[in-house]
């Protein structure tokens, strides 16, 4: 079942989400509905619960190998800041230059309830940071770096959307159970 994606201006997008207590049937159902919603949005790779009006610390991503569910994420390590072009389902039609780290470690739980640490580099790291921001009530427009020279002849960090965005050429996520 496809859920309605909340658009900029919706108060749910500005709320800090609550931790998920346990993975139960309700969480599993939310994952399935979010998976269907992401699948109905061609070219997109991630979706956070507040984008569908649910204020829980859950997001999903799909880098081409099937959807993954991340629960109660915490970014525990970052490395090498860069600037990336990003778009967002909740801010349709534009992309923005956003500062991101090229490598991150994220402690989280999976849909099966396992606690893991993800190590991501390049575009996957960008995706994890973008979706994590949604759980904190942060949108890409909040991270827009006005000191970065605009591309081509635009005069701001807002640009017409061109996909797929890429931060780096590497494309890896490694998970470890802890």
* Known active-site residue 131: yes
**Per the residue annotation, which of 28, 77, 131, 136 is the catalytic one?**
131
Q: Tokens 């893991």 — which residue? A: 116
Are the C-beta atoms of 50 and 15 separated by less than 8 Å?
yes
The residue with tokens 């496809």 is 2
Q: What is the dihedral of CA 80, 14, 51, 106, to 10 degrees?
A: 30
Q: 100 — phi, psi (to 5°)? A: -145, 165
96-98-101 Cα angle (round to 5): 150
CA 70 – CA 152 distance, rounded (Å): 36
Rounded CA-CA distance 65/107 in Å is: 21
The two beta strands, 115-122 and 158-160, are unpaired
Taken as a whole, the chain contains a residue count of 178
| Catalytic residue list | 131
């Amino acid at each position: 079942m496809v859920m309605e994606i909340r658009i900029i201006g919706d108060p749910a997008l500005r709320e800090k989400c609550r931790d998920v207590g346990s993975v139960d049937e309700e969480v599993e159902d939310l994952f399935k509905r979010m998976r269907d919603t992401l699948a109905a949005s061609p070219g997109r790779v991630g979706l956070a619960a507040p984008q569908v009006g649910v204020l829980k610390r859950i997001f999903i991503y799909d880098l081409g190998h099937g959807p993954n569910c991340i629960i109660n994420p915490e970014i525990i390590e970052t490395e090498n800041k860069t600037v990336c072009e990003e778009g967002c389902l909740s801010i349709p039609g534009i992309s923005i230059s956003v500062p991101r780290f090229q490598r991150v470690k994220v402690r989280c739980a999976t849909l099966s309830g396992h606690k893991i640490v993800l190590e991501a580099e390049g575009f996957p790291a960008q995706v994890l940071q973008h979706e994590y921001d949604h759980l904190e009530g942060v949108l890409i427009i909040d991270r827009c770096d006005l000191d970065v020279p605009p591309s081509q002849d635009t005069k701001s960090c807002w640009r017409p959307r061109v996909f797929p965005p890429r931060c780096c050429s590497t494309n890896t996520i490694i998970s470890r159970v802890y």
